[in-house]
Amino acid sequence: MATLVTGASGGVGSAIARELAERGDDVGVHYHTDERSARAVADEAREFGAEAAVVRADVRDPDAVEDAVATVDAELGGLSGVVNTAGIVDPARTPAIDDDRWERVVDTNLGGAFRVARAALPRLAPGGDLVNVSSVGGTEGTVDAAYAASKAGLHGLTRALAREYGTEGVQVNAVAPGPVETSMNDEIVAYLEEVEFRGHGDVDTHLPAYACPPAEVARTVAHVLDSEYMQGELVNLNGGMGFR
C-alpha cells in the first residue's frame, strides 16, 4: 500500500514524500511542471527501500487527477493514504485580484484538493488516511484574500469529508503550517515587504525562528497519518501565530 503526495516536487511536498519513504511507505510522487525534481524525489524514496511512482497532473483538470490517482493505485498495489500538498500563491491587494487570478488560486488550492479527494477516497480501504496541508492563512487571514479564502475553505472541506468518510473507517485531517523555509515563502515575504502589506511578519510568533523547515511539516504530517484516533482535526504548526 502507498501514500500519494500531491505537489511532491516542491519544498514541503518533497519533504513529506521523503519522510514517508524513510518510514517505510511506498509513495506516489505527483508533480505538475517540475518533472526533474519529482523524479529526484522518487529516486531518493527508492534509496530508502520504498517503491515510488511518478505521476503528472494539473490538479485543476479532473480527468488528469483521476488518471494520476488510478496510476498510483495500480502501480503501487493500492492506496493507504493521500496528502494534499499541491498549492500556489499569487499575492496581491484585493483590487488587483481579477477573476482569473482568484479562480487560479482558489481552484488550485481548494478545488485541486477536492478533486484529488474525490478520486482517492473511494479507493482508500478502511484504515486509510487523507491529510490536507493548509496554512495559517486560513485561520489568520494572512498573505492575501484569494490564498486565505482557499485555505479557509480547505478547513471546511476537511471536516465535511471527515464526517462523510469517518463512518467508512477513513481518517481525514489537516495540518496548517505557518511560514515554511521554501522558495515560495521567500517570494511571499519579498512581495509583502515591497508593498508594506500586512502579512505573516506582522503576526506574533512565540518561537525564536520565524519559519520552520519543511522537515518539521513532514514529521507532523507523518504523525497525523500514524494516529488511529484523530478525525476532522486542524493541527496548527505555526509557532504560536495568532495565539491569544
Q: Average pLDDT in the 28-41 region?
A: 98
Q: Are 22 and 219 in contact, with CB atoms under 8 Å apart?
A: no
pLDDT of residue 203: 59
Q: What is the pTM of this model?
A: 0.92
Flag whether pLDDT at 174 surpasses 80. Answer: yes
- CATH numbers and ranges of domains, the chain: 2-237 (3.40.50.720)
The mean of the pLDDT values for the chain is: 90
The catalytic residue positions are 147
Whether the pLDDT of residue 78 is over 80: the answer is: yes
The tens digit of pLDDT for each residue in 112-158 reads 999 999 999 999 978 899 999 999 889 888 768 999 999 999 999 99
For the record, the C-alpha cell of 122 comes out as 473511494
pLDDT of 165 over the 80 cut: yes
pLDDT of residue 181: 72
pLDDT of residue 211: 72
Lowest mean pLDDT among 29-38, 144-153, 184-193: 184-193
pLDDT for 194 equals 63
Distance CA 224, CA 218 (A): 10
How far apart, in whole angstroms, are the C-alpha atoms of residue 92 and residue 151?
16
**pLDDT at position 199:** 56
Yes or no: say if 90 and 99 are a contact pair by the CB < 8 Å rule: no
As a whole number of angstroms, the distance between CA 236 and CA 175 comes to: 6
